[in-house]
Amino acid sequence: MEIHDFEKVWLVASLVLIAAFVGTIVYGAVGPGVAMVGDGGTVDATDPTASEDFRDPGVYVTDDGEYHVYVVARQFAFEPGSGEPIRVPAGAEVTFHVASADVTHGFQVVGTNVNTMVIPGQVAELAVEFDESGTEYVKCNEYCGAAHHAMEGKIEVVSESDVDAEEVREA
Ligand code: CUA
């Protein structure tokens, strides 16, 4: 059987296209630092502060210099974040542990790929590294009630010496 030259070109071109499509899917899944939200365990769905980790939400640092930020989301604020900003150091690994005290909220750091749902009873865990100092904003992006649109917080990325991290707490 004879295959016309043009036919061969189209065959090769379509195979290249298929490989390219698969390549873009693989890249999109693992390329630009995409990772699943970690399973940070469970807490009381109506009172995360009953759990040891969320008793006193805030910024903690371990002996190894790892930062852990425990945040409680409730209608319609992040604690910390909304009242006082969350202060974390530039260049260090920061793990956010976010729990809801009422309904499903969102926790998105605007302009980054840090973005998770905060489901009552379930702790969302996300590790981030902020390279540069500056201010980042946190938005709730799950409709959570009448003042959902006003539910926001602030993260100040500062130098390590300006971080007021509380006592060492192992993750
Ligand atoms: Cu919390 Cu919308």
> Where are the chain's structural domains?
1-34, 38-170
- Is it the case that residue 144 has pLDDT exceeding 90? yes
pLDDT confidence bin for 168, thresholds 50/70/90 = low
Ligand 1 atom closest to residue 141's alpha carbon, by position in its atom list? 2
Residues with Cβ within 8 Å of residue 78, at least 6 apart in sequence: 71, 72, 107, 138, 140, 151, 152, 153
How confident is the model at residue 162, as a pLDDT? 79
How confident is the model at residue 18, as a pLDDT? 98
Ligand 1 atom closest to residue 148's alpha carbon, by position in its atom list? 2
- Is it the case that residue 4 has pLDDT exceeding 80? yes
The mean pLDDT value for 145-151 works out to 95
pTM: 0.79
- Residues of the chain with pLDDT > 70, as a percent, come to 96
Output 164 or 24, whichever has higher pLDDT: 24
CATH for the stretch 38-170 = 2.60.40.420
- Is it the case that residue 36 has pLDDT exceeding 90? no
The DSSP string of 9-52 is HHHHHHHHHHHHHHHHHHHHHHTTS--PPEEEEE--SS-GGGSG
Q: Is 68 in the pocket of ligand 1 (CB under 6 A)?
A: no
119 CA distance to ligand 1 middle (Å): 11
- Is it the case that residue 112 has pLDDT exceeding 90? no
The mean pLDDT value for 83-112 works out to 93
How confident is the model at residue 87, as a pLDDT? 92
123 CA distance to ligand 1 middle (Å): 16
How far is it, in rounded angstroms, from Cα 130 to Cα 147? 29
Tens of pLDDT, residue by residue over 46-89, are 888 888 889 899 999 988 888 999 999 999 999 999 999 999 99
How confident is the model at residue 170, as a pLDDT? 54
Q: Is 118 in the pocket of ligand 1 (CB under 6 A)?
A: no
